[in-house]
């Protein structure tokens, strides 16, 4: 459904924000990209959506249902974004308009994307969406103004709005960022209800990833370090960075402060593996050459340790 092949994104002379990322997302698959702040997650999503500023140089191939997105014109892309791919941007917790009832806003979002839909059909779809997202008294919720809902409810209503277009592919950027535990649980619950959607979601929240993903990709300082099935990742991570990440915080699922913040620029990123400075398996080769993306059965890992074994 979505094929990303050797995608690199850079801004001028600076170190690439995304380096040679590849993934093939099947229909109904839930791909969750895990990475710390600055690893290139948002830039990758915006690159797929063609929402980056002109200063961004995007290389590689991005195909959605067989069509190249990078070759599409701005106007064509706008149509794709509205109807086939929906996008839930970071910090959308504040995205509801306080002056209108929630239901009206969701209907607007539906009608903006599907101009032929009648008022009654749009309303029916809005109510169905709200009930899919775990709201009980959907008519009452629809008539409520945002301030009348709890934060967790608002967040769920927003995600409902984000997918209101009935797009088959949903991209979401850090949907749990900045939320308390209770709200995180609600958002996880909402995403778990998207069974028949294809999902590409980026997060720094391991608990969200564990609950929502079918496949996991790990990014570190612009590099794709590992891609595998969710179970493989949590039970038997291959990349030293993945191993360190899981070991550091097994219980609360967040690794924002685990001390592995990726280096931003400089010598470390110029040559060899981006994780080399912190890697317990460091050897000379890791400083000399970028590790290849090694295929290990159904999974891939960018590490010299496995390149030699394979």
Ligand X SMILES: Nc1ncnc2c1ncn2[C@@H]1O[C@H](COP(=O)(O)OP(=O)(O)O)[C@@H](O)[C@H]1O
What's the alpha-carbon Rg for the chain, to the nearest Å? 20
Nearer to ligand X, 39 or 168 (CB): 39
Are 64 and 85 spatial neighbours (Cβ–Cβ below 8 Å)?
yes
State which of residues 19, 39, 144, 168 lies at the interface with ligand X (CB under 6 A): 39
Nearer to ligand X, 79 or 264 (CB): 264
Residue 40 binding result from ligand X, Mg ion, none, given CB thresholds of 5 to 8 Å by partner type: ligand X
Options 35-43, 71-79, 187-195, 281-289: segment touching ligand X (CB under 6 A): 35-43
Angle at 223 between CA 222 and CA 228, to 5 degrees: 130
Q: Is 42 in the site for ligand X (CB under 6 A)?
A: yes
Q: Is 175 in the site for ligand X (CB under 6 A)?
A: no
Nearer to Mg ion, 46 or 141 (CB): 46
3 state SS of 67: strand
Residue 11 binding result from Mg ion, ligand X, none, given CB thresholds of 5 to 8 Å by partner type: ligand X
DSSP 212-249: H-SEEEEEETTEEEEEEEHHHHHHS--SHHHHHHHHH-
Residue 35 binding result from ligand X, Mg ion, none, given CB thresholds of 5 to 8 Å by partner type: ligand X
Output the smallest distance, CB 17 to ligand X, in A: 3
Are 217 and 34 spatial neighbours (Cβ–Cβ below 8 Å)?
yes
Q: Are strands 198-203 and 169-173 parallel, antiparallel or unpaired?
A: parallel
Cα(28)–Cα(168) distance, rounded to whole angstroms? 8
Nearer to ligand X, 168 or 203 (CB): 203
Tokens of 15: 């170190």
Q: Is 89 in the site for ligand X (CB under 6 A)?
A: no
Cα(114)–Cα(97) distance, rounded to whole angstroms? 21
Q: Which residues contact 261 (CB under 8 A, 6 or more apart)?
A: 36, 37, 38
Nearer to ligand X, 46 or 130 (CB): 46
Q: Is 37 in the site for ligand X (CB under 6 A)?
A: yes
Q: Is 35 in the site for ligand X (CB under 6 A)?
A: yes
Options 37-45, 66-74, 178-186, 224-232: segment touching ligand X (CB under 6 A): 37-45
Secondary structure percentages of the chain, helix, strand, coil, to 5: 40, 25, 40
State which of residues 139, 264, 271, 283 lies at the interface with ligand X (CB under 6 A): 264
Q: Which residues contact 282 (CB under 8 A, 6 or more apart)?
A: 276
Nearer to ligand X, 41 or 230 (CB): 41
Options 36-44, 105-113, 284-292, 300-308: segment touching ligand X (CB under 6 A): 36-44
Q: Is 40 in the site for ligand X (CB under 6 A)?
A: yes
| Bridge partners (DSSP) listed for residue 229 | 215
Nearer to ligand X, 223 or 232 (CB): 223
Q: Is 237 in the site for ligand X (CB under 6 A)?
A: no
Give residues in contact with ligand X (CB under 6 A).
11, 17, 35, 37-43, 53, 264
């Amino acid at each position: 459904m979505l094929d990303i092949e050797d995608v690199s994104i850079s801004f001028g002379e600076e170190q690439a924000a995304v380096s040679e990322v590849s993934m093939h997302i099947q229909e109904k698959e839930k791909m969750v990209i895990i990475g710390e702040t600055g690893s290139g997650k948002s830039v990758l999503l915006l690159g797929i959506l063609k929402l980056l500023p002109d200063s961004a140089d995007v290389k590689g191939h991005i195909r959605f249902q067989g069509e190249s997105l990078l070759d599409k014109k701005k106007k064509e892309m706008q149509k794709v974004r509205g109807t086939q791919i929906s996008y839930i941007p970071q910090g959308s917790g504040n995205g509801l308009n306080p002056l209108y009832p929630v239901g009206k806003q969701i209907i607007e979002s539906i009608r903006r994307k599907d101009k032929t839909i009648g008022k009654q059909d749009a309303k029916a779809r809005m109510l169905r969406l709200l009930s899919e997202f775990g709201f009980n008294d959907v008519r009452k919720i629809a008539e409520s103004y945002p301030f009348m809902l709890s934060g967790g409810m608002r967040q769920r209503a927003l995600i409902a709005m984000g997918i209101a277009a009935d797009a088959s592919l949903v991209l979401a950027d850090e949907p749990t960022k900045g939320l308390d535990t209770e709200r995180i649980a609600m958002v996880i619950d909402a995403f778990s209800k998207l069974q028949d959607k294809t999902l590409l979601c980026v997060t720094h929240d391991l608990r969200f990833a564990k609950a929502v993903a079918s496949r996991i990709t790990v990014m570190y300082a612009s590099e794709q370090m590992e891609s595998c099935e969710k179970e493989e990742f949590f039970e038997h991570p291959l990349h030293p960075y993945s191993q360190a990440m899981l070991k550091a915080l097994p219980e609360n699922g967040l690794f924002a402060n685990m001390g592995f913040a990726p280096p931003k620029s400089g010598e470390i990123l110029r040559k060899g593996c981006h994780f080399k400075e912190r890697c317990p398996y460091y050897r000379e080769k890791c400083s000399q050459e970028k590790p290849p993306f090694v295929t290990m059965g159904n999974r891939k890992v960018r590490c010299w340790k496995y390149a030699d074994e394979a």
